[in-house]
Amino acid sequence: MTFNSTLDSIKTYETGRPIELVVREYGIAEDAVVKLASNENPLGASPKAIEAIIKNAQNAHLYPDDSMFALKESLAKHFDVDKNTLIIGSGSDQIIEFCIHAKANEKSKILMAKTTFAMYEVYAKAVGAEVVRTKSHEHNLTEFLESYKQHKPEILFLCIPNNPLGECLDSKETFEFLKQVDKNCLIVIDGAYQEYAKAKDLSKAIQPKELINTFPNAIYLGTFSKAYGLGGMRVGYGIANAEIIQALSKLRPPFNITTPSLAAAIAALEDKEHIKKSVENNLAQMPLFENFAKENGFDFTPSYTNFITYYFKAPLDSTKVADYLLQKGMIIRNLASYGLNAIRITIGTKEQNEKFFALFNTYLNQK
Ligand SMILES: *Cc1c(COP(=O)(O)O)cnc(C)c1O
């Protein structure tokens, strides 16, 4: 069978290995496996969110509220924005897809950093659009401006902070850059890790309200999968002016969020204590990862997220490191598929992190 030729250049997205796979393949007990691969919240979901999921299981036979009234009301209050500036997706991934389908086709260009979230490229290629990348791996606004002027892309992605590298643009400088972007270019600000960035350095915080009031052509994306600890529930959101929201809404499949997911997201948003604890654990543990890198001579990007990226020099090889750790029941993310001799480690609990350092030390000492 032949398929759409746009699929030929797409590589299937590689997710963090699931715990079940390590149990199956290496015979390691499920509770001995540590997953620091997908930037999930190591403290788990808010207990209030879990309660909401269980409570709403009773309504499993009913379609969810497709207007998503209650979650939109919570988000509108949280961000101090109007309800009609919101769209909810099955993860913010789905909203990335809506953005590209709404705006791009085989004649379009889409601009992004050299090394950034892989799904931007997957959706871009699916519609046959040309992906334009800046030269540096990390976000560099001077390069973005040059590339923007040269290519006049239909869509511009800024991942603030950036996955998988962890760096974060300054919000004032970002706004200055965006002022030079044409109003017909869709600006996508992916804020999947903003909760962590904000807690570390307020000058990195993007206020969605200020963003969309300043730039009618911008959309802010947020997710419940990272700091809010609900990766398994698949809820993300977009905040933009009504014109953009109305366009994207035409592409949204009905009932794209389940009832328990909607309830969980509302509860998670309200549990300020859990978010605070999660962000604090991250801030407290991050320096241990920086010290470990320094002790072992690895370069790393100072991170504004809940992960850190270590860069290796030959003969140390990221694929061998990742494979060794996997066999020991420690799942981390190898960045070889990005063309980097690097690994990305999600910051876990103190115990998980200690296990990571111990295993990695054993590997380094046996070489
Ligand atoms: C995790 C992530 C997302 C979206 O995750 P969902 O689970 O689909 O909400 C989007 N962008 C970046 C950069 C991410 O790391």
pLDDT digits (tens), the chain, 367 positions? 999 999 998 888 877 778 888 888 888 999 999 999 999 999 999 999 999 999 999 999 999 999 999 999 999 999 999 999 999 999 999 999 999 999 999 999 999 999 999 999 999 999 999 999 999 999 999 999 999 999 999 999 999 999 999 999 999 999 999 999 999 999 999 999 999 999 999 999 999 999 999 999 999 999 999 999 999 999 999 999 999 999 999 999 999 999 999 999 999 999 999 999 999 999 999 999 999 999 999 999 999 999 999 999 999 999 999 999 999 999 999 999 999 999 999 999 999 999 999 999 999 998 6
Mutation probe of ligand 1 site: the residue of 88, 163, 196, 221 with most atoms within 8 A of C-beta = 163
pLDDT of 189: 98
pLDDT of 12: 85
Count of alpha carbons within 13 Å of 8, Cβ hemisphere only? Answer: 6
Residue with the two structure tokens 């788990």:
44
Nearest CA owner, ligand 1 atom 11: 192
* Gap between the Cα atoms of 185 and 266, Å rounded: 32
| CATH classification (class only), 5-44+273-366 | alpha beta
pLDDT of 367: 64
Ligand 1 atom closest to residue 116's alpha carbon, by position in its atom list: 13
Q: How far is the CA of 366 from the centre of ligand 1 (A)?
A: 36
* Gap between the Cα atoms of 328 and 346, Å rounded: 17
- Domain extents for the chain? 5-44+273-366, 47-271
Residue 50, class by beta-carbon neighbours within 10 Å (0-12 exposed, 13-18 middle, 19+ buried)? middle
Ligand 1 atom closest to residue 236's alpha carbon, by position in its atom list: 9
Q: How far is the CA of 364 from the centre of ligand 1 (A)?
A: 32
Q: Which long-range contacts (CB under 8 A, 24 or more apart) does 47-52 make?
A: 47/271, 47/274, 48/267, 48/268, 48/270, 48/271, 48/274, 49/228, 49/229, 49/230, 49/233, 49/264, 49/265, 49/267, 49/268, 49/271, 50/264, 51/267, 52/260, 52/263, 52/264, 52/266, 52/267
pLDDT of 54: 97
**Residue from 276, 101, 129 nearest 199 by CA:** 276
CB within 6 Å of ligand 1 — which residues?
Answer: 91-93, 117, 159, 163, 190, 192, 223, 225-226, 231, 236
Domains 5-44+273-366 and 47-271 equal at CATH topology level: no
Decide: 92 and 238 in contact? Cβ < 8 Å. Answer: yes
Nearest CA owner, ligand 1 atom 9: 91
| CATH classification (class only), 47-271 | alpha beta
Decide: 257 and 107 in contact? Cβ < 8 Å. Answer: no
Mutation probe of ligand 1 site: the residue of 223, 306, 335 with most atoms within 8 A of C-beta = 223
Q: How far is the CA of 179 from the centre of ligand 1 (A)?
A: 26
Nearest CA owner, ligand 1 atom 2: 192
Return the amino acid letter for 42: P
